[in-house]
Amino acid sequence: MSAPIKNPAAETLPRPAGLAGLAADWASDQRTFKNVSWGKAMMWIFLLSDTFIFGCFLLAYMSARMSTTVPWPNPSEVFALEIGGTHMPLILIAIMTFVLISSSGTMAMAVNCGYRRDRKKTAILMLVTALFGATFVGMQAFEWSKLIIEGVRPWGNPWGAAQFGSSFFMITGFHGTHVTIGVIFLLIVARKVWRGDFDTERKGFFTSRKGRYEIVEITGLYWHFVDLVWVFIFAFFYLW
């Protein structure tokens, strides 16, 4: 029996150097995603695309604010509350920020417990994270209601530049939608963790291989991204 004829073109070629090598890796997937699950890789790609969207929104906001000839409303006054007869600027925003940043801590602990196969602690910490997220959305709804009652609209407001209303509702609304989706996702995954779906390999949505809690980490990636975006919104919209 004759030996098979080797095809030189089918043999592995050496990796090119520099940018050409990087392009070859990504194009042929020789090294890029070999040790990364598709779920985690796709989440990173989604977060990268979402970064561009939030970045465009913030750039549009900065352009509108710097180009308008009408005075821009003072955030310290617009978002102030009267508590016990005391005028407290940005108090609600400070509490919202504290709540959302705290939720990153509970989410990180949930991921840690997940990879230690501590099912109950993982589920409880995810539920606490969801509670923090729901609290944030509730306070944001109160903030929206207060400004709407005071006359803020996407096309105008009582305090100055008309672009303020459209910028506020667009940026905070888009972020609030992300937080709401994250809360729903947290509740779904927490329920599956509590039931032991990842230990019994029960079939269903978001169920990974037996004994793997990778979906908890993927949920954490999304949640940390939402928290990080809020830091930029807080700095550019409320403190500037």
Predicted pLDDT at 10: 44
Q: Give the pLDDT confidence score for residue 20 in this predicted structure.
A: 73
More confident residue, 171 or 34: 171
Is 144 a residue whose pLDDT tops 50? yes
Would 15 be classed as within a structural domain?
A: no
Q: State the CATH number of the domain containing residue 176.
A: 1.20.120.80
Report the C-alpha gap between 86 and 7 in whole angstroms: 82
Tens digits of residue pLDDT in 185-231: 999 999 988 888 777 766 665 555 555 678 899 999 999 999 999 99
Alpha carbon of residue 215 to chain centroid:
15
Which of 157, 155, 154, 141 shows the shortest CA–CA distance to 77? 157
pLDDT of residue 219: 93
Spatial CA neighbour of 61 closest among 73, 49, 50: 73
| 25 domain-assigned | no
Please give the tally of structural domains in the chain: 1
Range name among 54-58, 80-84, 127-131 with the lowest pLDDT average = 80-84
What 8-state DSSP symbol labels residue 160? S
Please report whether residue 80 resides in a domain.
yes
Stretch 1-26: mean pLDDT: 59
Residue 20: inside a domain = no
| pLDDT, tens digit (0-9, with 9 covering 90-100), for 151-178 | 999 888 888 898 999 999 999 999 999 9
CA atoms of 65 and 42, how far apart (whole Å): 35
Radius of gyration of the chain (CA): 24
Question: Is 16 part of any domain?
Answer: no
- pTM of this prediction? 0.82
Asked whether residue 10 is domain-assigned, the answer is no
Domain housing 158: 36-238
Q: What is the mean pLDDT of residues 124-145?
A: 96
Paired tokens of 237: 């919209």
Select the more confidently predicted residue: 155 or 98.
98
DSSP 50: H
Is 76 contained in some domain?
Answer: yes
Whether 170 maps to a domain, the answer reads yes
Specify the pLDDT at position 4: 53
Q: Which of 186, 178, 181, 170 is nearest to 226 (CA)?
A: 178
CB 165 within 8 A of CB 155: yes
